[in-house]
Amino acid sequence: MEPNGVNSAEKLEVLLVCEDPPQMLPALEKHFEVHVQLDAHISDALPAAAKHVCALVTGTLVGAGQRLINSLPDIEIIACTGGHVDRIDMAAARVRGIPVTNAPGISAPDVADLGLALILGVSRRLIESHHFVRDGRWPEGGMGFGRRVGGKKVGILGLGGIGRIIARRVHAFDMEVCYSGPGRKDDVSYPFFDDLSEMARHVDYLVVCCPESPQTRHLVDMPVLRALGPEGMLINIARGAIVDEAALIEALAQGIIAGAGLDVFEDEPHVPEALTAMDNVILQAHVGAFTTEAKLEMVDVTMNNLLNHFAGQPLPNPVG
């Protein structure tokens, strides 16, 4: 499928404002003239030619604000390479009548896999043990004990696509599942808690999977962490701001909770030194969706959205 009007002599113009996935640029260049501007917040810095692009391609962590959208007078479509569009100003797009597309659900299994890996890693002290062996300390004596995961209870905050996959994954480890969120799901039998602190008090692991919003900012606060307790562990594979990071640092330092596995932080890519100095925390660089397979699928879906639009065909993945 080729966009209308695209031929060897003339190509429609696209603005790319994200580096992820890296395969996106060469895929776009096969069909479009591509302008790259990786700082999506400085619309004044756009090249003059880029201000006449007909499509904007962005990522979940970059998004597109009102200023950027309004600086592109000829834009016809905004294509997000991932599933979340919370950093795209949907109201600004609607005012202009600009359709927004995404690539939903592709990385959900990968993010869930990392969540499971963090549960196992922090429980069995995998990173500590790795350094213990690599640093040559084993001959001086054995390591301390880790914790069994089988038979433990997992509370999932946000039983959406990722949360449901985690539930299936941990069930294979003989772990009990319950969940909390804005409402009960009629199609699952897992116990539901409408009070997050009550669920935290009930479980051994609290896994954060919900979207970031004004309602979920710092939803996991000190009262929730105290309810999770000195044997409990926090896993966050959603967004950093959902957890009160200062409260989490205090809870870890004082033994209010036992440990944490974190793929996201409040001020990425800056991670507090207090967290990097702790042995009971596993830290990741927001890599839950970073698998080669997921990135290639995201490119395919994004290209299909763009090519369908310019060919006058229905959009495969419209948002809103």
Backbone angles phi, psi at 269, to 5 degrees: -90, 20
Ramachandran region, residue 286 (left: φ > 0; alpha: ψ -120 to 50; beta: rest): left
Question: What is the rounded CA–CA span in Å between residue 184 and residue 193?
Answer: 8
Question: Rg for the chain (alpha carbons), in Å?
Answer: 22
Question: In which residue are the tokens 């409990």 written?
Answer: 232
Torsion sign across C-alpha atoms 80, 84, 89, 94: positive
Give the whole-angstrom CA distance, residue 132 versus residue 227: 32
CB atoms within 10 A of CB 189: 7
Judge whether 268 counts as a catalytic residue: yes
CB-facing half-sphere around the CA of 100: CA atoms within 13 A: 26
Q: What is the rounded distance in angstroms from the CA atom of residue 51 to the CA atom of residue 64?
A: 14
Phi first, then psi: what are they for 109, rounded to 5°?
Answer: -65, -35
CB 31 within 8 A of CB 10: no
Q: Point out the catalytic residue in the list 176, 250, 268, 297.
A: 268
Catalytic-role residue among 67, 96, 124, 286: 286
Q: Is 286 a catalytic residue?
A: yes
Q: Enter the tokens of residue 15.
A: 């603005």
Q: Which of 239, 245, 266, 309 is catalytic?
A: 239
137 given a catalytic annotation? no
Q: Please check whether residue 113 is in contact with residue 89, taking contact to mean a CB–CB distance below 8 angstroms.
A: no
Give the list of residues 6+ apart from residue 168 with CB closer than 8 angstroms, or none. none
Question: Whole-angstrom Cα distance, residue 43 to residue 289?
Answer: 28
Determine contact, residues 243/209, Cβ cutoff 8 Å. Answer: no
Query: Annotated catalytic sites, by residue?
Result: 239, 268, 286
